[in-house]
Amino acid sequence: MLNRRTFLKAGAAAGTLAYLTDPLHASQGVSAGSAATTTAPGDVPWLKTLRRIGQTNITEHDPAVMDVEGWADYWAGVKAGVVYVSVTGILAYYQTEVPFHRKGKYLAGKDFFGELNSAARKRGLRTIARMSPDLNWGDALAAHPDWFMRDEKGNAIETPDTPELFQTCMFSPYMTDYMTAIMREINARYDVEGFYMNGWPMFNLPVCYCNICRKLPPPKTPAYWEKFNDRVIELWKQYDGIAKEKNREAFYFANMGGGVHATPNLAKVGAATQWFQADNQGRGGQDDPVWGCTQQGRVCRAIMDGKTAANVTGSWSTGPLRWRESFKSPAEAQMWLNETAASGMVPYYHVIGGEGGMGEDRRWEKFGAEYFAWTAKHDAHFANKGTIANIGVLIGQRTQLFYQAPRGVSMQRNMDGMYYALLEGRFFFDFVHEDRLEPERLKKYAALILPNIALLSDEQCAHLRTYVEQGGSLVATFETSMYTNDNQHRADFGLADVLGIHAAGPVIGRRGNSNPFYARIERHHPILDGFNDTNWLPGAEYRQPVAPVENPVLTVVPGFVSYPPELSYPPVRQTTEPAVVFRERGKNRLAYFPGNIEHSLWIAGNTDLTRLLQNTIRWVAGESAPVSIDGKGLIEAFAWETEPGFAVHVLNYTNPNTHRGWLRDFYPIGEQKVRLELPAGRSVKRIELLRAEKEIPFRISGDAVEFTIPSVEDYEVAAISAS
């Protein structure tokens, strides 16, 4: 953790220190305009200069207890560029005249939103009006039954935690009449930079049987998803237009969390929005790896073309058991913010309510102030232009939403397995969205990885075919391209001609607790480096059989009995069915694994499968990577071209809680030797470690700069100033 001395050295505002010590009297400590200005010189939009975001999520009780001036002092003191202020839609925090916009019972005659908005803007903070369109009360249901979602029996759908609240339908007039009325009321009374809607679009495709939705295609089908996306974009454009009615620079955006599993079509939303709001607030007690936040950052990078993306880190206790007003492990919160910054998103710190956030549990305050003070010292080095990576990993939203995976197979774990192999292999990679496969976008990548992207349209297959024809290489696994984009099973792979494969029957899995299949080594190949003294390697839990190929490297040994051990031997020791298919065409290198290798390596923890996949990725991508890091430990790394030059971010995941729960502490790793290829004409002036706060030596070797990071505790950034 950053310590108090580091925080003081960073020059945090005196008012923030006062607030951290005595929040009830801190309002005297910061004067108007003390926050750093967010107006960029010249014509740079302010969103491009945004480096810190703050939010105290307002509760119904807050108007009775919250110190407005202390709240504004805190966020101004930590140099937040913008704060969210709750307007809501479930409960009104101002004296609304919109019917059914219920005023909170502690609001009395206050204009609480107005007080907060004014206090923030007085200190130079920009404000976002936060709204919630997903729920409303019984009186609204009685007056407007057409506003609400219905189950198959026609009953309005209650929210589980609060049965008095009912779920609204996104296809109903609630979204076009009620929510727009609130937006226009806010525009008429207040100045804000933007409107944000929480709780919409939903994290899962909605299942509704109201009169409107009964006319749509069946829920959870590709045809329904198309209508869903049309509605999302229709409303997005309408709301953005309303935001601009008062101020043409204002804008609208909504909650887009969920990473690779997001519900709306991310490519379409990325084109429509100025700000991608990710809501991955943290993990908890589930078996979730620590890199959930960086996955989200890679998703944002894939669809935003450099526009603003932010991820909210909850200070509160996230997970399956939620303590909304209790601070989480500081190490866990710190790593989540580290991942946000490293992956190119804007750090956004979030606390619930005036009591949990400013009264009973105040541990979050100093932590947030110290972290933001550190980032504020180094803002220039977080001004990213683009990633430096030669590998792209395809994310298939349609596969995530509609693919009917074999029993026990999780697409979340499928991605976790591929991600883990990439991290452990220290590859530098980007995510690539399935609807953004034009040659101009793909030309930077030596190789694309398709981790069981089962659903691919003919057009998407054509784009991938063109990519290969123009010199690109591929790694694909399992049922990639066996389904059309509307989830219809093909008779053969959509990429059969590209990969040189043909389906030879239905998917095969193991029986009961039997052995999965094995892969028999038939000849030497670079992907087998490191495998000695064995004729067999593990296969995978499931496989898509493919027709025999000439001169195979690995062939399938079918699975057999696991118990009793007396019967645990292979009736068939050798077949002609390939366990991997390789193809070289000119400088192209193509690899296909019939098994669900990434899912199997994740659930089994099998190191042979991991090495096999990593060796294959290295062979396909080629030996000349634009960035490399050699050293011990499990890390995730990003390389960016920045305004001052370049930056290499190293996240240290060497930790007993990397795969589950919360980080309790950090376990430093030693020397990390970095090599970064320099573009022609660029020269390095200095390299500074931002966390260690010191310059380090470097050497130029050919067209690359080489240097050593002495150690990494949780996170280090090597900031390379270059001309």
For the stretch 642-697, pLDDT in tens is 999 999 999 999 999 999 889 999 999 999 999 999 999 999 999 999 999 999 99
In the block, which residue shows the tokens 């395809």?
Answer: 394
Label the pairing between strands 316-317 and 323-327.
Answer: antiparallel
Q: pTM of the predicted model, to two decimals?
A: 0.92
* Distance in angstroms (rounded) separating the CA atoms of residues 303 and 270: 5
Q: How far is CA 144 from the centre of its chain?
A: 37
Decide: helix, strand or coil at residue 337: helix
* Distance in angstroms (rounded) separating the CA atoms of residues 454 and 484: 8
Angle (nearest 5°) at CA 433 between 431 and 438: 110
Nearest to 433 by CA among 481, 384, 475, 399: 399
Quote the radius of gyration of the chain (alpha carbons, Å).
27
Crossing angle for the helix pair 597-604 and 607-621, to the nearest 10 degrees: 140
Q: What is the pLDDT of residue 261?
A: 84
The answer to whether residues 527 and 612 touch, using CB atoms and an 8 Å cutoff, is: yes
Q: What is the pLDDT of residue 593?
A: 98
* Distance in angstroms (rounded) separating the CA atoms of residues 395 and 374: 33
- Sign, CA torsion 202/208/213/217: positive
Identify the structural domains of the chain with CATH numbers, from first to last: 4-377 (3.20.20.70), 391-621 (3.40.50.880), 627-722 (2.60.40.1180)
Q: Counting beta carbons within 10 angstroms of the beta carbon of residue 584, is it exposed (0 to 12), middle (13 to 18) or buried (19 or more)?
A: exposed
Residue numbers in the chain where pLDDT is lower than 70: 1-42, 285, 356-359
> What single DSSP character describes residue 306?
T
The answer to whether residues 209 and 150 touch, using CB atoms and an 8 Å cutoff, is: yes
Pull the structure tokens for residue 455. 């659903």
DSSP per-residue letters across 640-682: EEESSEEEEEEEE--STTSSSS---S---B--EEEEEEPPTT-
Decide: helix, strand or coil at residue 702: coil
**605: which residues sit within 8 A by CB, 6+ positions away?**
none
Q: What is the pLDDT of residue 2?
A: 36
The answer to whether residues 698 and 706 touch, using CB atoms and an 8 Å cutoff, is: yes
Helices (runs of H) and strands (runs of E) counted in the chain: 21, 33
Phi, psi of 426 (to 5 degrees): 60, 45
**526: which residues sit within 8 A by CB, 6+ positions away?**
615, 618, 619
